[in-house]
Homo-oligomer: A and B are copies of this chain.
């Protein structure tokens, strides 16, 4: 995917060394946005502020505006960037997003006047270790899809061996409404849920701690301006309504889900926590990693017109899951790599998800979150949840501490990463999405 935008130029460097490390998630080509609070800051620094990640620092955006370092942006963008969430900035749309990106890139460039002004650097660049990251936006609605055909086929074959993929799968991106209230930022501990589970399909159930606790490795995207109720977002306009992406861990209670989900779908099995990474990598930053696709097979049905792609929007994003048990952390062992997949393997693009979701006239609001569903590829080691990775527990993993895992144990920490790499462009990353399982409480 060629791009000649100078913000994507791989040769571009920042005056900040930590941003120029070739393995850095946050080089000057990335510039993801988030919301932070500074540890132990003064009274005026206690409120949430919008930041932009660069190397190991956070650009304090409202402070930059205060100090007139971003004078090329419009007043409405300046106003939106002084809010406590990204929702107002998400609402503004692509022209403003691009303008801010160019301005911030110029400010952080090695040729910037900030380079030799250490006083101002101190004022506007906050070390990441001195800050806590919050949710980037107030999420009005959260929807989750099922867009990996490999995931759908794997899970389907466990529960319906003769009919793994349902007839609708290749005609529309299957999705469901999720719970917005329980979305938390990376680093928040996750309490093992209680719920009803059965040993026989017909019951009776007992109430107790979930025994088959799982993660789901997903990516999510935040809606920008959105649409009015009763109108639809057409494919040609879809990209203008996508602000950016985060990693999503859609924690799942498999045993609770199995009993509750007929006929209306997953409910309590999904609503106890969903963790997202705090830095929103913008669609603009992702431009170099777009590619053709997703791959549709020879025998696959024709897409209905409203779902036909107008642009290439498969995304070459590598996703990775690691686990560290409590013992491993105590013994300072490295987390174990459990799977590595890629978003480009999904059957549906994020644009198709957005268009389909609004095809009924459903309204999207700035800050709404849509996630892809578990990202799995063809190989065993690309399966994005334990249900698939251990094949319902029949092929347990052995952790470096010697213990086996079919599903998650109390104390386990799940660490997800995602990044983009492609020839001729800089690597950019999403940072981390992590969470540790706390025991159920009675």
List residues of A whose CB falls within 8 A of some B CB: 140-141, 143, 146, 156, 166-168, 171-172, 174-182, 184, 191, 193-196, 201-207, 210, 229-232, 253, 256, 259-269, 271-273, 301, 304-306, 356-357, 359-365, 368, 438, 441
Contact = CB atoms under 8 A, between A and B. Distances in A.
With most chain B CB atoms within 10 A of its CB, the pick from A181, A207, A269, A363 is A181
Q: Which of A203, A357, A361 has the most CB of B within 10 A?
A: A361
Nearest to A202: B167
Given A174-B260, A182-B229, A305-B207, A362 B272 contact: yes
A256 B360 contact: yes
Contacts of A259: 168, 172
Contacts of A141: 179-181
A105 to B, nearest CB: 34
Nearest to A155: B263
In order of increasing CB-CB distance, the 8 nearest A-B pairs are A265-B265, A193-B360, A191-B230, A176-B264, A272-B360, A271-B362, A177-B177, A264-B265
A176 B264 CA distance: 6
B168 A260 contact: yes
A91 to B, nearest CB: 14
A301 to B, nearest CB: 6
A193 to B, nearest CB: 4
Looking at chain A's contact residues, the main secondary structure is loop
Nearest to A258: B168
B265 A263 contact: yes
B273 A229 contact: yes
B191 A172 contact: no
B195 A271 contact: no
Nearest to A363: B181
A203 B146 contact: no
Nearest to A191: B230
B360 A177 contact: no
A225 B65 CA distance: 38
Contacts of A167: 201-203
Contacts of A230: 191, 272, 438, 441
A37 B266 CA distance: 39
A194 B356 CA distance: 10
A406 to B, nearest CB: 21
A151 B231 CA distance: 31
Contacts of A201: 167
